[in-house]
Amino acid sequence: METAIAYIRVSDQRQVIDGNSLVTQERTVRGHANQRSYKLDHIFVEPGESAKTDHRPALQEMLKYCTANKGRIAVLIVPKIDRLARNTYDYTGLKVRLLQLGIRIESVGERIEDTPVGRFTETILASVAQFDNEIRAERCKGGMIQAVREGRWVFMAPFGYRNTRHNGKATIEPDPKRASIVAQIYKRLERGHRPSEVRAWLNESGYPISDSYFFKIVRNPLYRGEIHSFGEINHAAPPFVPLVTSATFTNAQRAFRKVTPAVHDRDNPAFPLRGTLKCVCGHLLTASWSKGKYKRYAHYRCMHCRCVNHPRDRLHADFIALMQSLRISGRAWQTLSVRLAHYAGSLKQESATARSKALKDLTSHQEMRRAIGRKNTRGVLPDDLALEQIRELDAKIAACHERLDRLSTPESDFQDALRFGEHFFSCLDQYWDGASNAAKKMLQRFAFPNGVTVERSGEIRTPESHSLTGLQLLSRDRECRVVDPHRHTPKTSGTTDEDTLTEVGLSLLLDIHVRFGDKSEDCYL
């Protein structure tokens, strides 16, 4: 009996409170485990978390559990693929990581066969989940843009306003308790009071606020009825009304003689590895400049550990060396390309075979339907029996059309992806070193979705696994294995570990071509 674990998730807190969706998902995975005679070891529950990224508490707990129990867990059960990830990137990385631990993914809602076409369909389903997420976000953004153009503020109400609904639509209105406080802030500043004096008055009035928040209130054009959002400036519409006049707003700004406080730049080009490098304590490293006697020095540092400061230039050099170690070129690339080309050919052949069978079935059902129609016209078949048979055939014909649509997915240009991949993987370090800041971060996110750990000594620890692990294994001359060779587990299907790894490798190559193929002007200096 194989041991299995399950992962269920809802993204809405209301679903967590109601409990319906989680209960249904738990019932589904338990039923699947019983049907397959699995020993369900643990169910990991993710309440109220989005699947846009893999930074989810229960998911990370599950991965640690799988690592700690390597060789004992064989199956991960999910209700649907989109419960595990709504990003093709994250799903592929999770699948590779689980395969390395000897764990396969089974989806209850999508019965995916363990065949080349089935595994290709699995990748398509992960892409569909990401597409659905992006379409929802785009529609939501479009609705908010329209609301702002109508003079409504659909976000969290700032100090002095409160969220409300007008004619069934979300907006804001003056807060009876705090609106007068905001008006007094501007009037006092206009009369010449210093900001520190106004803040002292706020503390005495029972509204203690920080210096930075006070600055945001005074600088916010929302209080004079202007909505600066989505690159546009729109004017408020009742019940959203200004709390101060434009003249008062402008005069209040004179109280600030100093330059606008600098906003911390999380995407500073001087520190491209911010968000990727992690301390041994598990927290991401932040970055900043320190002023010396003659010049400034750049460091990455951990805010949770004492005396953990690493020189930026040294870490950049070590990271470039790490990227250089991931190069695939020469004989290794030839080995990889031959395996991927062979797999792509077999996938194309199997897809063609499946499409040919679907066309044959469609032709047969259509011919049978016409024959029933002719027999009914001649009076051989009564109307009720003919109608019943035609309905059954119509359902089969519709199913054939659905199969053909699924099999007619536009074929990716494998040769172009292969040519780009050969150049891309032969100079990964040069790509990173010469790319723009945005391209660097995209590559870091792709190659190391779980980050890169920096030792206390300042040396970068080589990750045990990363998104390119599958391609690295495929580029070796020896036979590829993604499971522990010392663990003897009976196979549950006719496919080998190398077949599964090759399917993942092909998906990665095509994804790399789509993500980085049109950004060649940013790299290869």
Question: Is residue 154 located within the same domain as residue 167?
Answer: yes
DSSP string, 119-158: HHHHHHHHHHHHHHHHHHHHHHHHHHHHHHHTT---SPPP
Q: Which among 277, 372, 286 is positioned nearest to 315, based on CA atoms?
A: 277
Integer Cα distance of 214 and 95 in angstroms? 48
Could you tell me if 43 and 80 are in contact, meaning their C-beta atoms sit under 8 angstroms apart? no
User: Domain boundary residue among 197, 232, 255?
Assistant: 255
Instruction: Compute the distance between CA of residue 324 and CA of residue 506 in angstroms, rounded to an integer.
Output: 22
Same domain, residue pair 110 and 209: no
**What does the longest C-alpha to C-alpha distance in the chain come to?**
104
Question: Mind listing the pLDDT tens digit for each residue in 152-194?
Answer: 998 899 999 999 998 888 999 999 999 999 999 999 998 889 8
Residue 226 domain flag: yes
Domain end residue (candidates: 371, 390, 407):
407
Dihedral angle, C-alpha 326, 331, 333, 338, nearest 10 °: -150
Claim to verify: residue 166 and residue 102 sit in the same structural domain: no
Q: Has residue 121 got a pLDDT over 50?
A: yes
410 vs 114, more confident: 114
Residue 243 placed within a domain: yes
161 and 105, same structural domain?
no
Measure CA 206 to chain center.
43
> Percent of the chain scored above 70 by pLDDT?
81
Residue 448 in tokens = 């190391």
Is 25 found in the same domain as 72?
A: yes
490 vs 509, more confident: 509
Q: Tell whether 117 and 197 lie within a shared domain.
A: no
Distance CA 417, CA 354 (A): 25
Q: Are residues 138 and 157 in the same domain?
A: no
Residue 24 and residue 63 share a domain: yes
- Does one domain contain both 111 and 71? yes
Q: What is the pTM of this model?
A: 0.43
| CATH number of the domain that residue 127 is part of | 3.40.50.1390
What is the number of domains present in the chain?
3
Neighbours of 57 (CB within 10 A): 11
Cβ atoms of 118 and 112 within 8 Å: the answer is yes
For residues 496-511, one letter each, b for 16 or more C-beta atoms within 10 angstroms of the residue's C-beta and e for the rest, the string is ebbbbbbbbbbbbbbb
157 and 196 both lie in a single domain:
yes
Q: Is 317 helix (H, G, I), strand (E, B) or coil?
A: helix
Query: Which residues constitute the domain of residue 397?
Result: 352-407
Consecutive H or E run containing 43: strand 39-46
Residue 111 lies in a domain: yes
Listed range (292-306, 359-373, 436-450, 494-508) with the worst mean pLDDT = 494-508
Model pLDDT for residues 354-408, shown as the tens digit of each residue: 888 889 998 998 999 889 888 888 888 888 888 888 888 888 888 888 877 766 5
Question: Mean pLDDT across the stretch 232-256?
Answer: 90
Query: Which H or E run includes 253?
Result: none
Look at residues 220, 222, 230 and name the one whose alpha carbon lies nearest to residue 144. Answer: 230
CA distances from 94 to 85, 97, 235, 236 (A): 9, 5, 46, 46
Order of strands across the sheet that contains 75-78 = 39-46, 3-9, 75-78, 104-107
* pLDDT score, position 131: 66
Give the residue from 145, 176, 200 where a domain finishes: 145
